[in-house]
């Protein structure tokens, strides 16, 4: 790739200027939150960003961060490091990292060109039908869409990561898989979060012998912190991919193992489904916010569309002047979020199957019309909100990581198997978990999915279709140069988590670690409640309630991994302390 200049045209952000932000957030969280919650939010006391001058990696697992950083140090580019991290996370973080799921990747070259999106979202099998999750009376059976073999879409991760490497990488797929294979074969030290996750997931994993074999000891006990965890079946699966390329997953032995798993348990995915799977190169959603270019994922993700839509609405309010997480700002954010999520329920789906009014939803004029309906001091009940009328139609556990290299190339990647540990079902003999992404379709229009999101006709189940997602890998540019690389897990809260980090940096001038640490809020139209993390002032909550808002405390929302590039090319990385294994490292 051509070597561009690093950095972006923004004012320097000296660390000392933001000490007051840290103190406010630290004091608020540690004085108002119960000890257990404070630990969950600020575990590890990460208050300073990691700093680098040549490259930066931010992932949800320190081992993945280390192996990806080594790729950069050895001369690889951001895509090389991202693909290496993606496969490493499939080994070290099986609850959400994956080869049995799918996701989205944004790639920005350092030459100033617009980013490119790779869509490797799962697809519905050829035998899928609109009513496959309904009983004879038309009622939705959530168990089928979440915890059965019918819940799995055709996985896209292997094909998507391989395509990214083929288009923009400099190392081979075999080399990118090397660290993952070593970690699966030789094992890694189990952290506390790994043990806790397995104990929590036991009721869903226990019915499946292959899951118990893969993730628990022979006596059925969970691996404890400090134990070495090895995955021999997954090692063989990864070795087949390294040896045979994409065909090592979508054809041959691995494909036969997946198809047999399906056939033996009433699933739908066949060898033909696997062989037919193809990732898609798409154009990201693009918008602007206060002079910055916002690039994020296009459908079948709803994330980019509604991040841009909400930012467009909020651009007309004095966000900076009103102060971070003030009652005014939270009120405006919640009202804008309601409107966007209402539109999501009506219009968003796979653009290969349905028309989505992207131009209208992301237009400044439409945002202005929505903004005019927001009262200054009164919440609008969700029951009074209906999807709007944009013009110009155009033909829950997830993992995000961000990478920037010495040439200014940037990758923002989010992928998932949906729930923590997906469906709970491991492919016998292959060592990886099946996703339960079919639950992200509308099992029946108007019936909420596991995240409470309402879907409509645009997101109904159809053979070969990609289910709607909230994943929002995002790259923000200033004057054609990468400024911010970010994204998060969190189901329906991915959109609002990513939104607030962007606002914290652009509107409130926070450094990236402070922006990531700051308490978050979320509203998704239905249910009609503002969810807040602890750290929001009780006085602010009372003011919101006096305006008619229902406010509820929530557990930690999202786990965003972010990188900011300053005007002199200095890289600032932030791992989210809400996920104890998160880390950012530069060199």
Q: Which residues are catalytic?
A: 398
Question: CA-to-CA distance for 166 and 173, rounded, in angstroms?
Answer: 8
Cis ω on the peptide bond leading into residue 300 (within 30° of 0)? yes
Cβ pair 68, 82 in contact under 8 A: yes
How many CB atoms neighbour CB 36 within 10 A?
7
> Look-up: residue for tokens 């099986």?
94
- Output the six-digit token pair for 147: 């915890």
Cβ pair 418, 101 in contact under 8 A: yes
Query: Starting at the edge strand that comes first in sequence, how are the strands of the sheet with 562-565 ordered?
Result: 50-52, 571-574, 562-565, 481-486, 474-478, 292-296, 285-289
Question: CA-to-CA distance for 182 and 582, rounded, in angstroms?
Answer: 21
Question: CA-to-CA distance for 90 and 235, rounded, in angstroms?
Answer: 11
CA Rg value for the chain: 22
How much of the chain is in helix, strand and coil states, percent to nearest 5?
40, 15, 45
Cβ pair 478, 291 in contact under 8 A: yes
Contacts of 117 (CB under 8 A, 6+ apart): 104, 105, 106, 107, 281, 282, 283, 284, 297, 298
Q: What DSSP assignment string belongs to 44-96?
A: T---S-EEESS-EEEESSHHHHHHHHHHHHTT--HHHHHHHHHHHHHHH-TTT
Picking from 518, 480, 485, the residue whose alpha carbon sits closest to that of residue 586 is 485
CA angle 457, 462, 465 (to 5 degrees): 100
Report the half-sphere exposure of 19 (CA within 13 A, side-chain side): 4
Cβ pair 257, 429 in contact under 8 A: yes
Cβ pair 461, 370 in contact under 8 A: no
Cβ pair 441, 157 in contact under 8 A: no
């Amino acid at each position: 790739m051509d070597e561009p200049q690093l950095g972006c045209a923004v004012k320097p952000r000296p660390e000392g200027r933001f000490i007051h932000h840290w103190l406010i957030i630290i004091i608020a969280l540690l004085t108002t939150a119960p000890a257990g919650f404070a630990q969950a939010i600020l575990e590890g006391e990460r208050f300073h960003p990691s700093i680098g001058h040549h490259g930066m990696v931010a992932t949800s697992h320190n081992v993945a961060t280390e192996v990806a950083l080594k790729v950069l140090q050895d001369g690889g580019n951001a895509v090389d490091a991202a693909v290496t991290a993606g496969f490493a996370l499939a080994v070290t973080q099986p609850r959400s990292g994956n080869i049995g799921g799918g996701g989205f990747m944004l790639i920005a070259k350092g030459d100033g060109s617009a980013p490119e999106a790779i869509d490797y979202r799962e697809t519905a099998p050829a035998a899928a039908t609109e009513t496959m999750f309904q009983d004879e009376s038309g009622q939705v059976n959530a168990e089928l869409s979440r915890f059965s073999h019918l819940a799995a879409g055709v996985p896209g991760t292997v094909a998507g990561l391989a395509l990214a490497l083929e288009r923009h990488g400099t190392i081979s797929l075999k080399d990118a898989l090397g660290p993952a294979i070593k970690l699966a074969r030789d094992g890694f030290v189990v952290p506390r979060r790994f043990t806790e996750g397995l104990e929590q997931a036991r009721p869903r994993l226990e019915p499946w012998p292959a899951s118990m074999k893969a993730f628990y000891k022979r006596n059925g006990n969970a691996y404890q912190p400090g134990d070495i965890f090895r995955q021999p079946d997954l090692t063989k699966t990864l070795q087949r991919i390294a040896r045979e390329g994409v065909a090592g997953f979508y054809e041959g032995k691995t494909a036969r193992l997946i198809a047999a798993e399906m056939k033996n348990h009433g699933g739908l995915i066949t060898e033909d489904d696997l062989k037919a799977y193809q990732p898609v190169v798409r154009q990201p959603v693009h918008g602007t916010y206060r002079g910055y270019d916002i690039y994020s994922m296009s459908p079948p993700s709803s994330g980019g569309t509604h991040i841009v839509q909400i930012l467009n609405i909020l651009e007309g309010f004095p966000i900076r002047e009103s102060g971070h997480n003030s009652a005014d700002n939270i009120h405006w954010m919640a009202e804008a979020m309601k409107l966007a999520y209402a539109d999501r329920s009506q219009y968003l789906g796979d653009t290969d199957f349905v028309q989505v009014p992207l131009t209208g939803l992301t237009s400044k004029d439409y945002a202005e019309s929505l903004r005019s309906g927001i009262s200054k001091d009164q919440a609008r009940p969700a029951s009074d909100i209906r999807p709007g009328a944009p013009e110009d139609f155009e033909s829950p556990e997830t993992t995000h990581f961000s990478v920037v290299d010495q040439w200014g190339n940037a990758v923002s990647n989010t992928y998932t198997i949906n729930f923590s540990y997906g469906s709970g079902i491991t492919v016998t003999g292959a060592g990886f978990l099946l996703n339960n992404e079919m639950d992200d379709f509308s099992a029946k229009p108007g019936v909420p999915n596991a995240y409470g999101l309402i879907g409509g006709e645009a997101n109904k189940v159809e053979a070969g279709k990609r289910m709607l997602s909230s994943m929002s890998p995002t790259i923000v540019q200033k004057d054609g140069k990468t400024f911010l690389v970010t994204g998060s897990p969190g189901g329906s809260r991915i959109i609002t988590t990513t939104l607030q980090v962007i606002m914290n940096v652009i509107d409130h001038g926070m450094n990236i670690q402070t922006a990531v640490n700051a308490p978050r809020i979320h509203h998704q139209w239905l249910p009609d409640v503002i969810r807040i993390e602890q750290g929001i002032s009780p006085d602010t909550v009372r003011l919101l309630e006096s305006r008619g808002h229902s406010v509820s405390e929530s557990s930690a929302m999202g786990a965003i991994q972010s990188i900011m590039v300053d005007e002199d090319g200095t890289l600032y990385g932030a791992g989210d302390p809400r996920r104890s294994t998160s880390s950012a490292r530069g060199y």
